[in-house]
């Protein structure tokens, strides 16, 4: 997108700082009584997710990067990548597995958000929760009614999550993709 001034920063903008892509989490213009003004920022690395504090001189030129988020449908797995289809244009793209968060919780034909940086796919994020079928789990033991007791369950995508004892094979459950925890029956 080009060079911008540190005075014009906005939350959510993506910058290229020394070859690393970072998102602006927060910024504050500071005008001390002595010395020049500066901009204090919190920046989140897009690749690693680390948050760093960085200070820029007022008016310093920074490189803003073009980004776009598209809703896409996951079609199928192809080796070390997944193939996604744009829901509007029907264009298909390939996204490497390591760029996809909670990859084992994404079922074929489900909707995900793909972040494009400089017109290339950068990262794919599933929705906050997904509904999946339980493929395999041990039956609950009758009389075992102690609260908060869980058992492992393998889902249709191959992911394993802990579920309450009353969940059986074939049940559809809702799973939080950020914490990988059981939420409810679907």
Give the domain CATH number at 48.
Answer: 2.30.30.30
Residues 9 and 58 in one domain: yes
Sort 78 into a burial class: Cβ within 10 Å, 0-12 / 13-18 / 19+: exposed
Query: The CATH number of the domain where 71 resides is what?
Result: 2.40.50.140
Residues 55 and 103 in one domain: no
Residues 110 and 137 in one domain: no
Residues 61 and 71 in one domain: no
Residues 107 and 77 in one domain: yes
Residue that the structure tokens 């084992």 belong to = 104
Residues 121 and 133 in one domain: no
State yes or no: pLDDT of 2 exceeds 80: no
Residues 61 and 84 in one domain: no
Percent of the chain topping pLDDT 70 = 95
- Show which of 48, 65, 82 is a domain's final residue: 65
Domain membership of residue 147 as a residue range:
129-185
- Show which of 65, 85, 107 is a domain's final residue: 65
Sheet order of strands, 20-30 included: 2-5, 61-65, 14-17, 20-30, 38-45, 51-57
What local confidence, expressed as pLDDT, does residue 119 receive?
84
Per-residue model confidence as pLDDT tens digits over 112-168: 988 888 888 888 888 888 888 888 888 876 655 566 788 888 998 888 999 888 888
Residues 71 and 61 in one domain: no
Instruction: Give SS3 for 128.
Output: coil
Residues 83 and 101 in one domain: yes
- Per the structure, the count of domains in the chain is 3
What local confidence, expressed as pLDDT, does residue 167 receive?
85
What local confidence, expressed as pLDDT, does residue 42 receive?
93
Whether residue 57 contacts residue 40, with contact meaning beta carbons closer than 8 Å, is answered with no
- Enter the pTM of the model: 0.71
What local confidence, expressed as pLDDT, does residue 1 receive?
57
- Show which of 125, 143, 170 is a domain's final residue: 125
């Amino acid at each position: 997108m080009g060079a911008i001034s540190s005075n014009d920063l906005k939350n959510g903008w993506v910058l290229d700082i020394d070859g690393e892509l970072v998102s602006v989490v927060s910024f504050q213009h500071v005008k001390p009584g002595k010395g020049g003004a500066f901009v204090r920022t919190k920046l989140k690395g897009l690749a690693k997710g680390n948050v760093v504090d960085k200070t820029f001189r007022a008016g310093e030129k920074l490189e803003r990067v073009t980004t776009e988020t598209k809703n896409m449908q996951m079609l199928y797995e192809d080796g070390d990548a997944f193939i996604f289809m744009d829901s509007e244009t029907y264009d298909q793209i390939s996204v490497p597995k390591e760029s996809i968060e909670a990859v084992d919780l994404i079922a074929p034909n489900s909707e995900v958000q793909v972040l494009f940086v400089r017109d290339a796919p950068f990262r794919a994020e599933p929705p906050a929760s997904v509904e999946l079928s339980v493929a395999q789990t041990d039956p609950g033991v009758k009389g075992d009614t102690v609260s908060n007791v869980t058992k492992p369950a393998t889902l249709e995508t191959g992911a394993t999550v802990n579920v309450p004892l009353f969940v059986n094979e074939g049940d559809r459950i809702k799973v939080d993709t950020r914490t990988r925890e059981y939420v409810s029956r679907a």
